[in-house]
Structure 1
């Protein structure tokens, strides 16, 4: 027997059905109701929202009933999907929306979604005639305490925990009573409870809209708003203070989880209580820095500063100025950031806030170094270090030492930089400043890269990467991946460098970090240059140069220019190449960067070879003299004892490429593809490139399987790469290894195949490795 819609008579139905069951032993009864009947032995089955695909299907089917010849194009499907989600995937709401498809198609209804309670109705009277009617009937079935709890719960955005509920929803109820009330509302399908830790309650959107109306009518709204703001601001400020310490991850997670509640406090307080709005915006600052800002929050930095100024509270203004500087620096607005920090510094001195002054001194010095103005940073950092020690503030002392190390690294005084970084790292580890520990490791890796200690640099960066992921910081993860790409590029491991750089680029773009984006695109440009893909290198390096110039980071821009000059020389733009190299040299001389001058000297050799190519047909002797001069630069570079080995090593490899091509009689740079094609034995047992000697792979089973898979891919899908993970599974079937160890095996396999004769044949692109699709390939089955 089925008894439907028993909500309003649930108890009476329970008593009646109980008597039937006593008389009819085999009778089975299915009752639909938002309230339990209370019968002994009752089995409750809670029906949640539809699955997303089923919700879409229901809307389309009901829309077809309402308008038989109405079809939905591919471009409309995202709107349908969004609509059913916004309707909480509840069948009644979806059916009512679909019934109005003629006058309110999905996009139109979404644009008027705040009016959904009035709009979603049908001509059929009764409980199912409108969404408002259904919710009103449900509301009338609640007792007064449940109504109070549900209406007050509408104040939350993004859900709430049991702890928040006990502080905000009912000051007169005990914690156990509130838990019982929440569970009752959940059993009536008015609240959802997820499986997060700790679990969070969430109102369905339509229920939230209805409950908010009732809250406004109840006279409890102002008190509820006050309690909501007080709870979240006091807790968020406590968590912000703990972010730097050993419990930082828990605090970051709390702030991330309550992000929507803090945004709500900020927005509703902007006009009514600027200090409250500023406090909420500053509580969001660490999350915005670590995770970036969604489009809906792009205004928050400026509105927070504006609210702080209107509040008249100097400490809020100081923090808001520093926060704004943090957020706009990655977008290249260094001058504006520095102006804000200097204003905050003056204000902190005026009010005697020594701790904040110490942090701001480091901040200002770091901006000067980023601009390439190294000298102004020194006195600021000395004073910050003095404050940190005098005030017993180890965090200030540590970040001041780290910034001093960065200043010495910019000057390429590498031993001093390493010493200062080690001191900062020791402080961070001793006090549990995990986030700063990762930053110090990244900077130490920069020193080791400049010294050519690539293996040590890689190890430090992998440790920093683990820390960034433990701290769930996308900003630090992106920077660490960028630096890993830089180390591998300096070491000549182009495939690994490209892989890290591509991952880093995605994060920088997600976070809106233009500075990081420019550096990574530059790295990818140098990779393309080394592979001989001059067209791709040209595109990437020009883009990177434009971004770095826009960001005002003189040092990074100057470091890229020598490689821009190589690219310009290789495409025959010698005048532009000379200008680029001169601009770089002028900067290196201005900051006394001898290491980068050494790299620029090697790049001069590539310009000499490029000039020689032009002169070769008419002035052979002059051309040979230029090439000999370029060779002498390589000899001189081999005795280089100090400087930026990372940039120097890249410049040396590029010059060697040009000299090798000259010696081989080629007048054009770039990989020379063998003209006679590639012959491949059965199951990849051997290969011959361009008629050269046969290479036997029969005793090298992993290499043979990898090569055979690459050959199959070349024949079946020319130009499509094989993912490194797939190559590992094909080369070492059934072997289970840590992902990083597995990738090292693949990279070593690729390196071995190239050394066996596939250097210019085995290529790499975004989707993986492949054999040159332009090269004829013949399988020879034996």
Structure 2
């Protein structure tokens, strides 16, 4: 009779099995181990101690007992033991149980990857059970691992509930800054430039401007230098793309957006930005600054207020502000230019090589375009159909006669523009027309959008393929919706051609109509099971939505401008852009133009709703009342109900809450939402009625309202609504004395908020957990969570927290008690937690015995 020999892992916490080769990824394994342990999880790694078992038996047993498979890969396939057909690395992946989540990280670049590892990675990439990401440094890996494991913690909590609602894969960490993009191709011939820029930053230079003409490679160089220097900054580096920003006043908002700071509109964005950067060590990369040079003083103001912040700027012109150090980006040297040509030629003709027959022609092409990288790329894209000698002949003849833009442009700027024009001369008329029309997009576009503005009779798919082949348009991978983009200078050229054609007004109107229709399509799905998908899709189109709105506002097309804003209300709110929408609607109200009643209702709503929590003279409530009346007169019960929600919030938020009127307002709103079968509106109205009952001390009634709202949101698949309802029910249960139920509801609120990237929801959930920890006697945990929540609010620009949370009273009691010093220290430590760490802390089991909660809400 045989017995099963169980090999136990080191402890019984959530176990993360780490698979990799040992020597080549030693630093990365240490980084992964640190990230895992920071989340209070158990890494399962063979170097953590000798085991008296054969290796294959050991890792098979460990895999069976693990909760997550984490694979690290680079260049080595690993040793294949005698009588085995695969290495231990591949065997571990093969033996991974089907139901085990798989997080896989591949280090790049990898110039010498072994063929068998390439085969394994190709198989893994096609495995829909695995999440697959690239990284470059141990620090970047640690951030990815910590973020992804925190999301998995949230998923596991979610799936443990009686009626689980699946968290969609690939959820972004909330408030995650925009890290450095990973270029699709390598940087060629800039090693000395990277070294010099890194030296400048490391020796105390805090504002470096990379100057040079369009297409010279400033952006790629800045990214490479920032990646090298980022390890010297505790908070890493953040990339700020300004290519779609044309108004200098919007630069602080774009920086805030990249940092994850919300523009809530209730405080100046520069104030929020300064607060968010206070005490942080971070490198900002601001790309394409030449079109917003008037915003340069804002950069010096940020640097003055944030002594550990440094900025790399790319621009065609100097900023000319104090502390600026310029770095001129020049053309590639002869050998480097040829290397770049060959690399880009391989993309269209994999068998292309330099030979004795073509070497002079390739060098001549590089010389003809003055060694400008983008011009080299455009020329190299043609070797699929033209041999280098013919390419040189055509290029030389064309560049000698073409006039690319203004004659007062710098010589190399004229070179790149002439090269773009030469490239377009090789297209047919329809393809050139399509390129001009595509210039209307900001921040990229989909095939569907291109077909919409391309014209009903145009063969957009074939034309777009030709533009991609010519390197005038880039294609980026996606799931089922690939995106396309242009480099800034190509887009600038396309727009000039569009303006010259006389089609610009019609094409911009078509662009606006497309996004108006997109907003209409998203409006209902944003409130249900399509919520996450639409949030991601609209996030990709954020710059296009802004451009469409700007076109409508500039044309005083107030009706359509208000319609686009209102259809995407939930998106603007969750992503922290209500402040920007408010400025749009303020333009309409300040225009002195006669506004349609429905348009005025929308404009008043957006202009006042974000101010509901500070209404000393009652003007906010008065304007929201007018907005609700206008919605009613124009037959929009859904809009009226939404205005009434904000009105009720204003009535509850003052020093002397008018609970009776707020109840009356919300009872009417509830009837309105039910009359049009708006489940989302009904669930929100129930939450507000619950808040009124909570204010009036009727806990049972409040509990019923919150429970009913939660049930509605869960049936509808509305994750944002679920977050709101579960958070409020948590406070009611806390006040009723059920600490365990309150903990579960606050955990649900944190879980859902992390899954949909709702920063405000995470902050509220953390604050609820502060009260749970305080009442459970876990004073240090209460302090850590309070510090994390406060830091998250400061760094995200969220100011209205006191209106909706009651945790401060519990924290004050702890601070005034014998453990005050420990709480203060824990609060300071909590401020240093990342969002992912704070989420993991909130979802971990607490300690201590619960105390009696307070009866009255704050």
TM-score w.r.t. structure 2 length? Answer: 0.50
Q: Which residue of 1 aligns with 2:603?
A: 320
Matched, 1:281 2:565: yes
Q: How many residues align?
A: 488
Matched, 1:210 2:493: yes
- Classify the secondary structure of the residue corresponding to 1:245: coil
Q: Which residues of 2 match residues 142-291 of structure 1 at below 5 A?
A: 142-174=427-459, 178-197=460-479, 198-272=481-555, 273-291=557-575
Q: Is the 8 A contact 1:233 1:280 kept in 2?
A: yes
Partner of residue 745 from structure 2, selected from 460, 466, 486: 460
Q: Is the 8 A contact 2:473 2:484 kept in 1?
A: yes
CA distance in structure 1 between the aligned counterparts of 2:732 and 2:760, rounded to whole angstroms: 21
Q: Which has the higher helix share?
A: 1
Q: Is the 8 A contact 1:255 1:284 kept in 2?
A: no
Q: Which residue of 2 aligns with 1:679?
A: none
Q: Deviations over 1:451-507 (max 9, x none)?
A: 232221111121222222333322323322222223323433233323333333344
Q: Which residue of 1 aligns with 2:317?
A: 109
Matched, 1:80 2:210: yes
Residues 249 and 213 of structure 1, relative CA distance in 2, 3 Å threshold: same
Q: Cα distance, 1:430 vs. partner?
A: 3.5
CA distance in structure 2 between the aligned counterparts of 1:483 and 1:409, rounded to whole angstroms: 16
Q: Which residue of 2 aligns with 1:359?
A: 642
Residues 123 and 260 of structure 1, relative CA distance in 2, 3 Å threshold: closer
CA distance in structure 2 between the aligned counterparts of 1:212 and 1:108, rounded to whole angstroms: 18
Q: Is the 8 A contact 1:438 1:465 kept in 2?
A: yes
Q: Which residue of 2 aligns with 1:512?
A: 797
- Classify the secondary structure of the residue corresponding to 2:570: helix
Q: Cα distance, 1:121 vs. partner?
A: 6.0
Matched, 1:402 2:687: yes
Q: Cα distance, 1:189 vs. partner?
A: 1.5
* Higher relative contact order structure (alpha carbons within 8 Å, sequence separation ≥ 6): 2
- Classify the secondary structure of the residue corresponding to 1:267: helix
User: Unaligned stretches of 5+ in structure 1?
Assistant: 1-46, 65-69, 98-103, 532-565, 567-653, 659-668, 673-718, 729-737, 753-782
Q: Is the 8 A contact 2:613 2:803 kept in 1?
A: no
CA distance in structure 2 between the aligned counterparts of 1:387 and 1:71, rounded to whole angstroms: 59
Q: Which residue of 2 aligns with 1:601?
A: none
Q: Cα distance, 1:722 vs. partner?
A: 14
Matched, 1:302 2:510: no
- Classify the secondary structure of the residue corresponding to 2:610: helix
Q: Which residue of 2 aligns with 1:484?
A: 769
Q: Deviations over 1:651-689 (max 9, x none)?
A: xxx3xx49xxxxxxxxxx8679xxxxxxxxxxxxxxxxx
Q: Which residue of 2 aligns with 1:428?
A: 713
Q: Which residue of 2 aligns with 1:496?
A: 781
Q: Cα distance, 1:345 vs. partner?
A: 1.6
Q: Which residue of 1 aligns with 2:625?
A: 342
* RMSD (CA atoms): 4.6
Residues 444 and 743 of structure 1, relative CA distance in 2, 3 Å threshold: closer
Residues 52 and 412 of structure 1, relative CA distance in 2, 3 Å threshold: farther
Q: Is the 8 A contact 2:582 2:607 kept in 1?
A: no
Q: Which residue of 2 aligns with 1:530?
A: 814
CA distance in structure 2 between the aligned counterparts of 1:90 and 1:179, rounded to whole angstroms: 29
CA distance in structure 1 between the aligned counterparts of 2:428 and 2:529, rounded to whole angstroms: 46
Q: Cα distance, 1:369 vs. partner?
A: 1.8
Residues 367 and 89 of structure 1, relative CA distance in 2, 3 Å threshold: closer
TM-score w.r.t. structure 1 length? Answer: 0.54
- Classify the secondary structure of the residue corresponding to 1:345: helix
- Classify the secondary structure of the residue corresponding to 1:418: helix
Q: Is the 8 A contact 1:330 1:516 kept in 2?
A: no
Range with bigger deviation, 333-342 or 313-322:
333-342
Q: Which residue of 2 aligns with 1:7?
A: none
CA distance in structure 2 between the aligned counterparts of 1:294 and 1:348, rounded to whole angstroms: 20
CA distance in structure 2 between the aligned counterparts of 1:51 and 1:329, rounded to whole angstroms: 51
Q: Cα distance, 1:111 vs. partner?
A: 5.0
Range with bigger deviation, 506-515 or 141-150:
506-515
Q: Deviations over 1:678-733 (max 9, x none)?
A: xxxxxxxxxxxxxxxxxxxxxxxxxxxxxxxxxxxxxxxxx9999999xx9xxxxx
Q: Cα distance, 1:374 vs. partner?
A: 1.6
Q: Cα distance, 1:414 vs. partner?
A: 1.1
Q: Is the 8 A contact 1:159 1:200 kept in 2?
A: yes
CA distance in structure 1 between the aligned counterparts of 2:719 and 2:410, rounded to whole angstroms: 58
Residues 285 and 86 of structure 1, relative CA distance in 2, 3 Å threshold: farther
CA distance in structure 2 between the aligned counterparts of 1:240 and 1:471, rounded to whole angstroms: 17
